[in-house]
Chains A and B, each alone.
Chain A
């Protein structure tokens, strides 16, 4: 069964610190992997998109990595800010013989950045 597992479920860090969120998936083959940021009570916003052949993708203080061999991705946040407090969702898109399938969402990691 195609699954996307994220860890930790929640995380509290101090402002200015770095953190890394993990995503393990069993989807294979896959087309691309995305990280979204979702503020409380709002819709998700795309942070990064990586194809299966990419290893890393950056968007400002956000850097996503992908290891297709171990089926793991991580999202690293540098010099965290209070506005980084949100849920971070890992999404994997399966590849069914060249056509893309339904998005498979992880449950998210809830990050709280404290002053």
Chain B
């Protein structure tokens, strides 16, 4: 069953703790992306990676970090430096390096920080 998986679906953390969101894809896509979605807002790009061991900041990278050690995996760490971490986080991938190509989204992780 091909696609993008994100885990867990719901995540709860205390303020001041770092938390890592998982994103795995078996579509053999080169590029992967992380977006944040807030109520009433459009999706905003956090980080993207067009190739293994390389990644670029998106529009709202502050307080987040990523790694891309394997083609199929692109974990996102929400650090304690992120001022408003509570949000719905979406991972996506595309089969060609380039921000504009068709992106396929995972089911999302809803993070709540209290």
- Chain A positions within 8 Å of B, measured between CB atoms, are 4, 31-32, 41-46, 49, 89, 93-94, 99-108
* A107, B39: Cα distance in complex, Å: 9
Verify B42–A43 contact, CB threshold 8 A: no
Please name 20 further chain A to chain B contacts, defined as beta carbons within 8 Å, in addition to the given A43-B105, A103-B43, A107-B42, sorted by A numbering.
A4-B42, A41-B88, A41-B108, A43-B90, A43-B106, A43-B108, A44-B43, A44-B105, A46-B102, A89-B42, A93-B99, A101-B99, A102-B58, A102-B99, A103-B45, A103-B103, A104-B42, A105-B42, A105-B44, A107-B40
**CB-based A-B contact count at 8 angstroms:** 52
* A94, B98: Cα distance in complex, Å: 12
* A67, B65: Cα distance in complex, Å: 39
* A18, B87: Cα distance in complex, Å: 33
- Of the candidates B106, B108, B110, the one having the most CB atoms from chain A within 10 angstroms of its own CB is B108
* A78, B107: Cα distance in complex, Å: 26
Taking CB atoms, residues of chain A closer than 8 Å to B40 are 107
In the complex, the 9 A-B pairs of residues with the closest C-beta atoms, listed nearest first: A100-B100, A43-B105, A105-B42, A93-B100, A105-B43, A107-B42, A44-B105, A43-B106, A102-B99
Verify B105–A45 contact, CB threshold 8 A: yes
| Complex interface bits, B36-57 against A, C-beta within 8 A gives 1, otherwise 0 | 0000111111000000000000
Known: A43-B90, A46-B102, A101-B100. A106 touches B42 (CB 8 A): yes
Known: A106-B42, A107-B42, A108-B42. A49 touches B90 (CB 8 A): no
Interface size class of B (residues with CB under 8 A): 20 to 34
B31 → chain A closest CB, angstroms: 12
* A6, B90: Cα distance in complex, Å: 21
Q: Of all chain A residues, which has the CB nearest B3?
A: A43
* A17, B110: Cα distance in complex, Å: 33
| Complex interface bits, B81-104 against A, C-beta within 8 A gives 1, otherwise 0 | 000000010101000001111111
Taking CB atoms, residues of chain A closer than 8 Å to B58 are 102
* A75, B78: Cα distance in complex, Å: 35
| Complex interface bits, B52-69 against A, C-beta within 8 A gives 1, otherwise 0 | 000000110000000000
